[in-house]
Amino acid sequence: MNFLLTLSRRIDRFTEFIGRSVAWLVLAAVLISAVNAIVRKTLDIGSNAFLELQWYLFAAVFMLGSAYTMMRQEHVRIDVLSGRLSKRAQIWIDIIGITCFLFPFVFMIIKLAMPLVINAYQTGEMSSNAGGLIRWPVFALLPLGLLLLGIQGVSELIKRIAFLQGLIPDPTAKQGAKSAEEELAEFLLQKEVAAREAAQQGGKA
């Protein structure tokens, strides 16, 4: 099991690197969008290539960042029923979900997408828009993103099995900074405490 946990940590480090690197694409998309808008409004010059590049960057962030989102436990979870179960039962649900749903889904989508990517590469398929970009790089983001998601799924499966064996703490606990909801709740609590202290001081006066 030690070997598998080492493998899981290496996968997590790799996913962390990819996620942090992909985050810079958001800035690139914003800058390209701003420049494109300024040039179009001031010089009346438009470019389909720049528009499509924004779409490509968004697709890259979405697909390549999916594994990072999974690692950080920030993906959408439906806890209406599982939230009432014990932690071990929740972990078993995750294990079944990863093995019976995530892995087959990743395999099938990659299997279906790769012929499209290969065909687009071999034919040099271009966008139908005038001045558009070549298509195969954005097509390739689908199988590549799912491959990264599947690899991270292996890490998540290892961590859940290790948790059931008592080797590691809860792997489903969210990592990193507080969520927006947690920050809002903390702000409201601080505001309420400050209001009470002000009221108490006013009463003493």
pLDDT tier at 13 (50, 70, 90 boundaries)? very high
pLDDT tier at 179 (50, 70, 90 boundaries)? low
- pTM of this structure: 0.76
Region 147-168: what's the mean pLDDT? 92
Looking at the predicted structure, is the pLDDT value of residue 35 above 90? no
Long-range contacts of the stretch 34-43 (C-beta < 8 A, 24+): none
What does the pLDDT read at residue 178? 57
Report residue 58 as tokens. 């968004």
56 close to 145: Cβ distance less than 8 angstroms: no
Q: What does each C-alpha distance from 143 to 53, 110, 202 come to in angstroms?
A: 19, 5, 64
What does the pLDDT read at residue 107? 96
Biggest CA-to-CA distance, the chain: 82
Report residue 53 as tokens. 């590049």
Q: Give the whole-angstrom CA distance, residue 146 versus residue 152.
A: 10
What does the pLDDT read at residue 184? 59
For the stretch 37-72, pLDDT in tens is 888 888 777 777 888 888 899 999 989 999 999 998
What does the pLDDT read at residue 182? 59
SS3 138: helix
What does the pLDDT read at residue 29? 87
Looking at the predicted structure, is the pLDDT value of residue 205 above 70? no
